[in-house]
Structure 1
Amino acid sequence: MLLRTIEAGLKRVGLDRYLIILILTVALAALVPAKGGFAAVLSNVTFWAVALLFFLYGAKLSLSAALAGLTNWKLQAGCLACTYILFPVLATGLYGVSQAWFPAAVGLGFLYLGCLPSTVQSSIAFTSVAGGNVAGALCAASLSNLIGVVLCPLLLAMVLHTSTNEGDPLGAIWKIAQQILLPFLLGQLLRPLLADFLDRYKQATMIVDRGSILLIVYSAFSAGVVAGIWFRLSWSDITLLVILCVLLLGVVMAIVLTAGKLASMPRGDRLALLFCGSTKSLATGLPMAGILFDAAQVALVVLPLMLFHLIQLSVLAVISQRSVVRPQADKA
């Protein structure tokens, strides 16, 4: 009974079991990092776990529902503009500011965060809980991730005025496509055979989904511990990083909400725009980081993404719950 009370209290501030386990995974990597042969095996397992994850995404995604959402051009254009214009511009500013306080890899992490696609599952879930346009959110999140496979490394190369992956952005795109896009497309092709099965065993697919992310987090942060990069950051550095991530999310949310009202979008579309346009994908960002960046600096590069992900889930979970309580007050 006490555990349920504590869990309910944590949910009210946006912390569920998964987020707690995610934080504990980072702690485990700090205390017992993967080394040597185990790290090599873990890297191979993580690769195939991520491929399986995106195969399941493809098998679960209803293409007809996603295509139907494309007709809502205001929502789709707004989400893409937030994800691939607003975020990169703000992240470039943070990159310049961060150079004065943090190692170069952390600043690079802000740029990387800005170029990533939006979340899929959490943005759709929050939109659904808040009573928003779920079909529109599904389309926006899916389109964002499909475009992001190609656009993210190109955007990163452009804002850095250089190329990624040892001077070969096209090679990086091909590697990302092998691990993410091709399994996704294969899942789409096999959807007619697998859709009913996946609907019956949703819990199993959730385990694969979240388990894959936990594997990536443990692997990336273990590499950082082994390389000794965490000794380069103090608690004051971490605190400042959290403040910058909160500011970034706050500015994006304020602009998104204002833009939705100025565009005279209905409440359901404004909610979808908020939850899709204000989020960045950990599930897509972590595996791509392992391809785009050197293993020794990956943990520092993904640190802004990790912190931003935890903050966005906590804040938006609270907003989605409060949107249910006061739906009439938000109607235009």
Structure 2
Amino acid sequence: MNRLRELLDPFLLLLIGMVLLASVLPARGDGARIVALAADAGIVLLFFLHGAKLSREAIWSGTKAWKLHLATLSTTFLLFPLIGLATQHVGGIAPSTRAGLLFLTLLPSTVQSSIAFTAIARGNVAAAVVSASFSNLLGIALTPLLVALLMGKSGGGALISLTSVEKIVLQLLLPFLLGHLSRPLIGGFVARHRAMLGRVDRGSILLIVYSAFSAAVVEGLWHKVSRMELVVLAVLCVIILAAVLLFTWALGRLLHLPREDAVVLQFCGSKKSLATGVPIAGVLFPASVVGPMLLPVMLFHQIQLMVCAILARRYGAKAGPAD
């Protein structure tokens, strides 16, 4: 029972709660507009805080391991998208959900869980900070570009217009840069109140998810997605994660990376960020499409946490007791 509690992410349970709430009591009319405005404000706040939390020291501290970081970024933004394109030929799921699978593969890596699992596995934590942070930094620009290049032709309806570019700049890039530039003024506050700011992060994401799924439910989401489709989707997420984990393990051996760096490649290279994916989807896609687009991201998020938690503990046990 304790093991089950460790594997189940409480935040994901809250996300599921938001989906259930939106399914029973979706925001409609003026309420939907108010929730959407609050969700937009949440996106701005989320990226402002991400910018404020990222120190320049963290960026420079592990940059010497260029081979590791290049391998991680290649896995995140080259291998994953290729796998995503391959999933577009799988039957049994709706076009919008299939587009969500492709969107999942275009996201940057997670930050917190990648670093945490690297630490548990006794890997190179400093390099994990650099790889995960750099992936998220690049993802703000690369993910929308990849969406424009690949999803406009996949039925996702996400060709980027001037309005979309404006939203990306105003809701993602500008808040991130302002947060980072404000770091000398608020960096101490951010460091002292990480737990509180983490709750703000999660609260913003919960609000965005509720807004997105409310719009999707109003448009008839649950009449379009069957139980069998959810099963197929979960199986595809497991297959994608297994393929990337095997690839990163083999790539680490091929590049003769030290064990500590190979751990970083596996954990930073195999993950996709729900925290970044939710607000980016909210910016790039129409409200009625965001719900089904996020289903694969939410499923993959929980599966990657469960699998990587098991792997991290095994790697850490094999590494021996800590010094």
TM-score normalized by the length of structure 1: 0.90
Match of 1:46 among 35, 39, 44: 39
Partner of 2:143: 152
Q: Following the alignment from structure 2 to structure 1, what is the Cα–Cα distance between the partners of residues 194 and 297?
A: 27
Q: Following the alignment from structure 2 to structure 1, what is the Cα–Cα distance between the partners of residues 169 and 64?
A: 27
Match of 2:115 among 124, 131, 138: 124
Does structure 1 residue 178 correspond to structure 2 residue 178? no
- After superposing the two structures, state which structure 1 stretch, 19-28 or 272-281, moved more: 19-28
Q: CA contact under 8 A between 1:118 and 1:144: conserved in structure 2?
A: yes
Shift of the alpha carbon at 1:247?
0.4
Q: Following the alignment from structure 2 to structure 1, what is the Cα–Cα distance between the partners of residues 128 and 60?
A: 12
Match of 2:76 among 71, 78, 83: 83
Partner of 2:63: 70
Q: CA contact under 8 A between 1:130 and 1:324: conserved in structure 2?
A: yes
Partner of 2:133: 142
Does structure 1 residue 289 correspond to structure 2 residue 290? no
The residue identity in structure 2 corresponding to 1:113 is L
Structure 1 residues 81 and 169 mapped into 2: Cα distance closer, same or farther (>3 Å)?
farther
Q: How many residues are treated as equivalent by the alignment?
A: 320
Does structure 1 residue 251 correspond to structure 2 residue 246? no
Q: Following the alignment from structure 2 to structure 1, what is the Cα–Cα distance between the partners of residues 269 and 168?
A: 23
Q: CA contact under 8 A between 1:66 and 1:135: conserved in structure 2?
A: no
Match of 1:115 among 70, 86, 106: 106
Q: Following the alignment from structure 2 to structure 1, what is the Cα–Cα distance between the partners of residues 187 and 206?
A: 25
Q: Following the alignment from structure 1 to structure 2, what is the Cα–Cα distance between the partners of residues 124 and 53?
A: 19
Partner of 1:213: 205
Match of 1:225 among 217, 226, 233: 217
The residue identity in structure 2 corresponding to 1:15 is L
Matching of residues 182-331 of structure 1 within 5 Å: 182-328=174-320
Deviations 1:167-218 (A, max 9, x none): 5455433322221221111111111222222222222111111111111111
Q: Following the alignment from structure 2 to structure 1, what is the Cα–Cα distance between the partners of residues 185 and 151?
A: 44
Q: CA contact under 8 A between 1:165 and 1:292: conserved in structure 2?
A: no
Q: CA contact under 8 A between 2:73 and 2:135: conserved in structure 1?
A: yes
Shift of the alpha carbon at 1:79?
0.9
Partner of 1:27: 20
Q: Following the alignment from structure 1 to structure 2, what is the Cα–Cα distance between the partners of residues 302 and 16?
A: 17
The residue identity in structure 2 corresponding to 1:83 is T
- After superposing the two structures, state which structure 1 stretch, 14-23 or 104-113, moved more: 14-23
Q: Following the alignment from structure 1 to structure 2, what is the Cα–Cα distance between the partners of residues 177 and 78?
A: 28
Shift of the alpha carbon at 1:161?
5.8
Shift of the alpha carbon at 1:248?
0.5
- After superposing the two structures, state which structure 1 stretch, 29-38 or 257-266, moved more: 29-38
Deviations 1:95-148 (A, max 9, x none): 121xx3222111111111111111122212222222221221111122212222
Shift of the alpha carbon at 1:274?
1.2
Q: CA contact under 8 A between 1:221 and 1:299: conserved in structure 2?
A: yes
Q: CA contact under 8 A between 1:82 and 1:277: conserved in structure 2?
A: yes
Identity over aligned pairs, percent: 46
The residue identity in structure 2 corresponding to 1:225 is V
Structure 1 residues 265 and 102 mapped into 2: Cα distance closer, same or farther (>3 Å)?
same
The residue identity in structure 2 corresponding to 1:10 is L
SS of alignment partner, residue 297 of structure 1: helix
Shift of the alpha carbon at 1:165?
6.9
Shift of the alpha carbon at 1:88?
0.4
The residue identity in structure 2 corresponding to 1:84 is F
Q: CA contact under 8 A between 1:78 and 1:273: conserved in structure 2?
A: yes
Q: Following the alignment from structure 1 to structure 2, what is the Cα–Cα distance between the partners of residues 16 and 185?
A: 30
Partner of 1:3: none
Shift of the alpha carbon at 1:154?
2.0
Structure 1 residues 143 and 171 mapped into 2: Cα distance closer, same or farther (>3 Å)?
farther
